[in-house]
Structure 1
Amino acid sequence: MPQVPKWLADTMIAVASPWLRQAVVSDTTMLSDELKLITFKGDFDDEDFLPGKIVQFRVDDTSFRHYTLSSFNKQQGLCTVLFYLHGKGPGSQWATNLQIGQEVRFRAGQGKLKYNEQGKHHFFFGDETAIGLFNWYKTTALACSHEYFGVLELHPQHAVALNTLKIMIDYVHASPEAPAVNAISWMEDMHPDCWNTWQRATFYLAGRALSISRFRKYLLQKGVEASQIRTDAYWADGKRGL
């Protein structure tokens, strides 16, 4: 429910008030010109945010937006969200204006992508909107002595975020006209010995709907089982608020 009439949004907030989390912006960091990492501090003693968890903010009078957490520290009462400030909607404008000391309220919910704790190998595919999710998955993989790998479709100026967050995966240039094509070419260049290991991984595909669809089709053609592939489309061309 990305957008509703103001009266309904007010009613939803009033009804959900007892379950809403309160937090304050404690830090903001620009990882690139359009990637803003925001740290929220609150009382999360009774909350167990698991990798893949989402939070929902009311970003204006009529709009709600979901974001995936990038990290969570229960002991310190901190969680982070990485916002992609592409400037094309109310969520981007709202996140751009968030400042240290500002109070926010949000609702936590289960995301579609869940980390496979039984898997030993984890492969990430997505774009700028998925970097936050994969940052937490990276932290989880290292804590579990698992291996992770992957490729993202990025605009070159945003690749610096991978280094800052120490996400050791590769990237290819995003091509709006050819979704997933560069990533598939990257996969085709993978050494056969490497693919023998990673074809048994759990694959997490997040971000642009069309890129996900094409990359999933490619994986199936390569012999990856459908049960190994987990997907969540964050956005689609011509649509708002997925």
Structure 2
Amino acid sequence: METSILYKIRKKAGKIIENQLLKTGRVLDVRYWESADMIEIDLHLPTADMQSWNQIPYIKLCVDDFTFRDYTPFGWDADIATCSLLIDADHDGPGSRWAKSLRTGDTIHYLKMESTRQAPHPTDFVVGLGDASSLGHLLALQQLTMPKARFDGAVLLPNPNCGKLLSEYFSSPLHILPTASEITEWLLKQGYCTAHTWFYLIGNDHFVSELRRLLKSLGHHNIRVKGFWS
């Protein structure tokens, strides 16, 4: 009994503190990619300073009581303070359940917005490599790379419907490949310049580690890593 009472007291106190710290936004739209386990969410964040997003940002969103997940906006319009998220919902977790529960008009809460400390090189060629969990990050990297012709990359998407819809919904040079071995084969054929190409690896730990090892074996050292660890 005492443990239960103390838990309720701590939960109530934590909720009060949490509410004082959290900022709010509004869901403008939710789109489910059919048979693709991907959810696209448009948000209005009126207090966000998107003009300063010259590095890839992330938002620490409250997805449950005392539970937060980091998501990367893949596109944004600073003038009207709107941005979009892509959430890979192909697993059962607090973030996936939260994303699936959202409806247009809902209020969302977030703790902070900060930089991932990743920005495309200002002049060299930029190559993004990632998996389904990092699709938003890759598209944000593309948005920040100017001119667009400096950007190339590949994304691991085993679900063919997800790859098909990505091609239909976005104008992106990302090569959609269903297996890690095919990404390896694709990389081996590219012949990127070692001195003037920068690689941005995003995804789960095993995927990122294998790609980094391969690139180093090919003589590449301009490598940046962002992990979404499983």
TM-score, scaled relative to structure 1: 0.80
Indicate conservation of the 8 Å contact 1:32/1:160, yes or no: no
Cα 1:66–1:127 change in 2 (3 A) is same
State how 1:106-121 maps to structure 2 within 5 Å.
Answer: 106-121=110-125
Counterpart amino acid of residue 38 in structure 1: I
Q: How many residues were matched structurally?
A: 219
Q: Partner of 1:166 in structure 2?
A: 171
Q: Which amino acid aligns with 1:218?
A: L
Deviations 1:116-144 (A, max 9, x none): 34233110111111111111221222x44
Equivalences for 1:15-26 in 2 at 5 Å? 17-18=20-21, 20-26=22-28
- Counterpart of 1:160 in structure 2: which amino acid? K
Q: One-letter code of the match for 1:66?
A: D
Q: Alpha-carbon deviations, 1:55-108, whole Å to 9, x = none?
A: 112212242111111112111120111111113211101101110000011123
Indicate the residue corresponding to 1:104 in structure 2. 108
Do residues 233 (structure 1) and 227 (structure 2) align?
A: yes
Q: Is the 8 A contact 2:121 2:198 kept in 1?
A: no
Counterparts of residues 3-152 of structure 1 (less than 5 Å): 7=10, 11=14, 14=17, 17-18=20-21, 20-33=22-35, 34-44=37-47, 46-47=49-50, 48-141=52-145, 143-152=146-155
- In structure 1, the residue matched to 2:207 is 211
1:185-208 alpha-carbon deviations (Å, 9 max, x no partner): 2222x1xxx514476311111111
Q: Indicate conservation of the 8 Å contact 2:130/2:202, yes or no.
A: yes
Q: Which one-letter code corresponds to 2:100 in the other structure? A: T
Q: 1:42 to 1:56 in 2, by over 3 A?
A: same
CA distance in 2 between partners of 1:207 and 1:13 (Å): 35
**Structure 2 CA distance for aligned equivalents of residues 126 and 153 of structure 1:** 6
C-alpha change, 1:131 and 1:80, in structure 2 (3 Å) is same
**Partner residue of 2:184?**
184
Given that 2:120 and 2:141 are in contact with CA atoms closer than 8 Å, whether structure 1 keeps it comes out as: no
Whole-angstrom distance in 2 between the partners of 1:196 and 1:54: 29
Where does structure 1 lack aligned partners over 5 or more consecutive residues?
Answer: 175-179, 237-242
CA displacement at 1:147 relative to structure 2: 1.0
Report % sequence identity: 20
Cα separation, 1, equivalents of 2:133 and 2:12: 25
Unpaired segments ≥5 residues, structure 2? 1-6
| Partner SS state of residue 72, structure 1 | strand
User: 1:111 Cα deviation (Å)?
Assistant: 4.1
Task: Tell me how large the CA RMSD over aligned residues is.
Answer: 2.5
Q: Determine the C-alpha separation between the residues in 1 that align with 2:197 and 2:12.
A: 41
Distance in 2, Cα, partners of 1:44 & 1:76 = 11
* Deviates further, 39-48 or 52-61: 39-48
- Partner amino acid, structure 2, of 1:58: C
